[in-house]
C-alpha cells in the first residue's frame, strides 16, 4: 500500500493491514506457485487463517470472533490479494457473505450455534448460482419441499466458491418455481448431510487454488431450523449480502492491482536495456504513473463504499461503482504488468501472468460488470 493511502486508515486499521500483508508475504507467497499448479490450498493454510482471526473478523467477541468491522474485512481481503487473490476468496466469501447474512438474518439460537463454529474451524460457502441462474439469480430451480418436520432439497448448484473447504453452506432454494423470487428461501446445510455431495471442481483460468465446485442435492433432508430468515424471503437475504459482497470483490481486485504494481516497479528498476534500467524510459514511467493512478482511484471507491456500509448509510450505488471500476483497473494494471515484464511476463517463471489470469474473474462473479452498470444507471436515473 502506498504511503499516501495510510492517511486514510486509523492506527489500528493500519496495523491490522500491515500484519495481514506480512502474513501474506511471509507465509502465503512461497506457496503461491505450487497451490496454483495443484489447484488447491496448501495443507494447514486455512487453519492458519482461522488462527489469525481472519475468518472471524465480524463475529462478535462473545461468540468467539474479533468483533471487528466490515471495513476490517475489506482490509484483510485487500492485503491477502496483493500476494494471492485465491487465498483472499475464502476470507471474502466466508466473511462478507456467509457471516454477514447470519448476523443480520439468523435467529439468536442459530447465531449461538453457527457463528462460533464459523469463527473457530468451519469454513462457510454461499450457494446461489445455477446453470440457468447466473445474472438472473432468481431463476434458480433447486427445490425445497416440506417433508415431515423439515425440508427436502433437490437440485444442483454451480460455481460455488469454498465448496471443497466448507463445512457449512448457505443454500438458496425455491419453495415454488412459479413464484419466482417470492419462493426463494435460504437454508444452512451441513457438509456430509445425506443426499448432499460436492461435485466436480472447475478447472479455472485464474484463482485456481480456490475451489469452485458443483453442489448436488438428491432428496437431501434438512431440519426446519435450517431456514435462515423466513420462508420465501431468501431473495432479500441474497440481494443485501451480495451488495456487501461486491465491496469485497472490489477489495480483492484492488489488492491484486497493488500486488501487480509492486512487482512491476521492482522489475522496471532491475531490468536493463540499452545500458540503463527500463524505469528510466519515459514510456515505462508513464505506464507506472497510469497504473498507480488507477489503483488509487479504485482504493477511494472501495474504501468509501465500505465506510458507508459501516456507518449505516446507503451504499448500493457506491458498491457497484467500486466493483466495476476496481475490476476494470485490475485488468488494466495486470495487463500493463505483463507488458513491462515483456517476454518474462508471458511465462510462469514470473508472477505477472498469474495476476493477469486472476484479474479476469473480477468482472464476472458476484455480479457482472454489465449488472453493475445497470444498477448504477438505474439509481442515477431515479435520483
Which residues are marked as active site? 366
Grid coordinates representing 20 are 495481514
Question: How many other CB atoms sit within 10 Å of the CB of residue 192?
Answer: 9
Which residue's C-alpha cell is 502465503?
Answer: 28
For 364, the 3-state DSSP assignment is: coil
Q: Are the beta carbons of 60 and 116 closer than 8 angstroms?
A: no
b/e map 261-299, b = 16+ CB within 10 Å: bbbbbebbeeeeeeeeebbeeeebeebbeebbebbeebb
Given the C-alpha cell 472501495, which residue does it identify?
302
CA distance 250 to 246: 6
Q: 212-223 and 227-228 as β-strands: parallel, antiparallel, unpaired?
A: unpaired
What's the DSSP call for residue 94? I
**What contacts 32, CB < 8 A, 6 or more positions away?**
83, 84, 351, 354
Distance between CA atoms of residues 106 and 230, nearest Å: 9
What residues have CB less than 8 Å from 315, skipping those under 6 apart? 243, 247, 305, 308, 309
Q: Which of 43, 56, 171, 137 has the alpha carbon at shortest distance from 103?
A: 56
According to DSSP, the β-strands at 184-190 and 166-174 are antiparallel
Q: Residue 66 is placed in which grid cell?
A: 474479533
Cβ(231)–Cβ(176) below 8 Å: no
Question: Which letter, b or e, does each residue of 32-49 get, where b requires 16 or more Cβ atoms within 10 Å of its Cβ?
Answer: beebbeebbbbeebbeeb
**Does residue 79 contact residue 24 with C-beta atoms inside 8 Å?**
yes
Angle between helices 234-270 and 70-81 (to 10 degrees): 40
Amino acid at each position: 500500500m502506498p504511503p499516501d493511502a495510510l492517511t486514510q486508515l486509523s492506527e489500528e486499521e493500519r496495523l491490522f493491514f500491515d500484519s495481514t500483508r506480512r502474513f501474506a508475504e511471509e507465509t502465503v507467497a512461497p506457496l503461491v506457485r505450487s497451490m496454483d499448479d495443484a489447484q488447491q490450498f496448501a495443507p494447514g493454510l486455512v487453519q492458519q487463517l482461522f488462527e489469525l482471526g481472519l475468518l472471524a473478523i465480524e463475529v462478535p467477541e462473545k461468540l468467539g470472533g474479533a468483533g471487528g468491522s466490515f471495513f476490517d474485512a475489506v482490509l484483510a481481503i485487500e492485503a491477502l490479494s496483493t500476494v494471492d487473490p485465491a487465498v483472499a476468496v475464502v476470507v471474502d466469501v466466508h466473511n462478507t457473505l456467509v457471516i454477514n447474512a447470519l448476523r443480520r438474518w439468523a435467529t439468536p439460537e442459530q447465531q449461538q450455534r453457527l457463528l462460533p463454529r464459523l469463527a473457530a474451524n468451519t469454513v462457510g460457502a454461499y450457494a446461489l448460482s445455477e446453470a440457468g441462474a447466473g445474472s438472473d439469480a432468481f431463476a434458480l430451480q433447486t427445490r425445497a419441499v416440506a417433508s415431515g418436520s423439515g425440508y427436502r432439497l433437490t437440485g444442483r448448484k454451480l460455481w460455488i466458491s469454498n465448496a471443497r473447504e466448507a463445512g457449512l453452506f448457505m443454500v438458496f432454494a425455491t419453495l415454488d418455481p412459479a413464484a419466482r423470487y417470492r419462493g426463494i428461501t435460504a437454508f444452512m446445510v451441513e457438509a456430509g448431510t445425506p443426499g448432499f455431495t460436492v461435485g466436480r471442481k472447475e478447472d479455472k483460468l485464474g484463482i485456481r487454488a480456490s475451489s469452485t465446485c458443483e453442489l448436488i442435492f438428491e432428496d437431501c433432508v434438512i431440519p426446519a431450523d435450517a431456514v435462515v430468515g423466513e420462508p420465501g424471503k431468501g431473495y432479500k437475504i441474497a440481494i443485501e449480502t451480495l451488495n456487501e459482497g461486491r465491496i469485497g470483490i472490489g477489495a480483492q481486485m484492488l489488492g491484486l492491482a497493488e500486488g501487480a504494481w509492486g512487482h512491476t516497479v521492482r522489475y522496471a528498476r532491475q531490468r536493463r536495456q540499452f545500458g540503463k534500467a527500463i524505469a528510466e524510459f519515459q514510456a515505462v514511467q508513464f505506464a507506472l504513473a497510469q497504473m498507480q493512478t488507477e489503483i488509487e482511484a479504485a482504493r477511494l471507491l472501495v474504501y468509501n463504499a465500505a465506510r458507508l456500509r459501516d456507518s449505516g448509510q446507503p451504499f448500493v450505488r457506491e458498491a457497484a461503482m467500486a466493483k466495476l471500476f476496481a475490476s476494470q483497473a485490475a485488468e488494466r494494471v495486470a495487463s500493463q504488468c505483463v507488458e513491462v515484464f515483456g517476454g518474462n511476463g508471458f511465462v510462469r517463471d514470473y508472477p505477472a501472468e498469474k495476476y493477469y489470469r486472476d484479474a479476469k474473474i473480477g468482472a464476472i462473479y458476484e455480479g457482472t460488470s454489465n449488472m453493475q452498470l445497470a444498477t448504477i444507471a438505474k439509481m442515477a436515473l431515479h435520483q
